[in-house]
Amino acid sequence: MDGFVVPNNSASLAFDNIDLSYGRWDNQQLYRIKDFALLGEQYADLADGSLVCLATQTSVERLNSLPQVAANWQGKMSVALFAAGPEEFVVLQYFVTYMRLCFANIRENATFHLLTPRDFDKLPRMAALPPNMKGKFDCQYPDRTLKALLKFRSLKTLQWRQRNTYPQNHMRNLARKGCQTKYVFLTDIDIVPSTNSVPQLNHFFRTANCSKSCAYVIPTFEIDVRATFPRSKNALVRLIRKGLARPFHEKVFIYNQYATNFSKWLSPNSNETEVSVSHIVTNFEFLYEPFYIAVDNAPAHDERFLGYGFTRNSQVYEMHIAGYQFYVLSPVFTGHWGLQRKQARPAWREQQNNANRRKFDVFKSEIFVRYKNDPRLLLKAKKNQILVK
C-alpha cells in the first residue's frame, strides 16, 4: 500500500468521538487526561497472552518514530500522546489515522491515551487541511508525512510550546498505567527495541523468579544513521567495532548509563539464544537512568518535575533507595538513532534543568524519610566503622 485517502465520513479520523472539554485532572490540575482514547483492535485479547507491555510517550513532533518501534515490538503497546492545543490535536488525528491504516501492528496492538493542557481551548484552531494533503499520506514515508502535517501549526501554537514545559513524567505514568500487564517496559518514543524481543521476553518472564524488588535493564545503544538497525546482538557488536554504534550517552553524559556496565554485557558469548541475566548492577551511580522492565508496582514518576532534567533519573533513584536490585538482560537491547555530540543547550532547557534541580533537593529528602534509608547516613556509618577499626 503506497498511500491512502482519508474517507469523508465522521468515523474516519482517530479520536473523532473524543470530547476534550472534559477529562480527569492530574494532581495539580494542570492537564486533562483521556485514558484509553483509542484502543488497538487486539489490545484486550493480548492481555491474557502477554506478560510484557511496552509503555511509551511522545509529543506530536516525534510520533514518526512509532512505526519503527512497532515493527520491532510485535506486542502490546501503550502510547501516551501530548497535544499542546487544537492544532496539534488535528495533526494527531491525521497521523494516528495514517499509522493505523498503514501499519497493522499499530492498528492491532497500540492503544493511545491523550493529555492536554488546561488552557487547551484558548489556543488557535486549525483550518481544514487542503485537498493536496492527500498525496502526502504515503505509507513508505512516515517522517515525510508527519513533517507535512506539522507545517499547518500556527506561529501562536509554536510560541506556546516554547514557553511551556513538556510534562514528561505525567506522560510516563499515563503510558505505564495503560499497559495493565504484570510487567511494563517503560521507554521513550525514539528508543527502538531489538527484533524478536517480545517472544524472548515473554519466555524469560514466565520463569523469572525474583525474591525482592527487581528491575531488568535493557542496554541502550546509539546507532549511526548510516547503519542498518542490527537484527541481533552479534550484529550490534560488529557495528560497535566499526565505530557505528556505542553505549547511549557515552559522549554527552556518561553517568546516564554508566552503571549498566556495557563492557561486561559485550563480553564474547556467541551461544546466547534465550534471554537471561547477564549481570547485576553493582555500581549504582546518581543520575543513572536505564530503560528497564519491572512489575507494575514500581514507584511512579514524580509529576512535580516538568520539562527537562531529573525526570527519569529521580524515579530510578527512588527505586534504588527503596531497595530495588537492577539486573541487566542479554541478548535483548534497544537502539537510538544518531551518535550524539556535545552541543550548547538552548537557554530554556537549562532553565528547566535548574528549576528541577531545586525540586530534586526536596524530593530527595522526602524519599529518604519515606523509606527510612538515607545513603548519606549509611556512608557516614561505614566511615565510622573504619575509624574504630
What is the distance between the alpha carbons of residues 129 and 152, in angstroms, rounded to a whole number?
Answer: 8
Q: How many domains does the chain have?
A: 2
- Across the chain, mean pLDDT equals 88
Q: What is the mean pLDDT of residues 222-226?
A: 97
- Rounded to the nearest 5 degrees, what angle is found at the Cα of 353, between the Cα atoms of 352 and 358? 100
Same domain for 226 and 118: no
Residue 177 placed within a domain: no
What percent of the chain stands above pLDDT 90? 69
Same domain for 218 and 145: no
Q: What is the mean pLDDT of residues 341-362?
A: 84
Give me the sheet containing 334-337, strands edge to edge.
192-193, 334-337, 220-223, 245-247
> Which of 140, 171, 202 marks a domain boundary?
171
Same domain for 343 and 200: yes
Residue of 110, 59, 80, 289 lying closest to 171 (CA atoms): 80
Tell me phi and psi for residue 37, to 5 degrees.
-65, -30
Does residue 211 or residue 266 have the better pLDDT?
Answer: 266
Q: Give residues with Cβ within 8 angstroms of 378, minimum separation 6.
A: none
3-state secondary structure of 33: strand
Residue of 172, 190, 196 lying closest to 79 (CA atoms): 172
Determine the structural domain holding residue 86 and report its residue range. Answer: 24-171
Cβ pair 270, 234 in contact under 8 A: yes
Residue 270 is predicted with a pLDDT of 60
Whether 389 shows a pLDDT value over 60: the answer reads no
Same domain for 33 and 87: yes
Same domain for 117 and 234: no
Using one digit for the tens of pLDDT, what is the confidence trace for 14-69? Answer: 999 999 988 999 999 999 999 999 999 998 876 567 899 999 999 999 999 999 99
Same domain for 209 and 357: yes
> Which of 113, 138, 171 marks a domain boundary?
171
> Which of 136, 171, 206 marks a domain boundary?
171
Same domain for 277 and 132: no
Report residue 110's pLDDT band, with 50, 70 and 90 as the boundaries: very high
Same domain for 265 and 199: yes
Residue 165 placed within a domain: yes
Same domain for 141 and 108: yes
Q: What is the mean pLDDT of residues 208-217?
A: 89
- 346 preceded by cis ω (within 30°)? no
Residue 342 placed within a domain: yes
Residue 62 is predicted with a pLDDT of 96
Residue 11 is predicted with a pLDDT of 45
Same domain for 126 and 34: yes
* Cell triple for 245: 554504534
Cβ pair 143, 198 in contact under 8 A: no
Same domain for 369 and 282: yes
DSSP string, 332-378: --EEEES-----PPPHHHHHHHHHHHHHHHHHHHHHHHHHT--HHHH
Using one digit for the tens of pLDDT, what is the confidence trace for 118-127? Answer: 988 877 787 6
Same domain for 234 and 340: yes
Residue 375 is predicted with a pLDDT of 63
Q: What is the mean pLDDT of residues 249-264?
A: 91
Residue 68 placed within a domain: yes
Residue 176 placed within a domain: no
What is the distance between the alpha carbons of residues 389 and 387, in angstroms, rounded to a whole number?
Answer: 5
Residue 18 placed within a domain: no
What percent of the chain stands above pLDDT 70? 89
Residue 130 is predicted with a pLDDT of 67
Residue 213 placed within a domain: yes
Cβ pair 116, 150 in contact under 8 A: no
Residue 6 placed within a domain: no
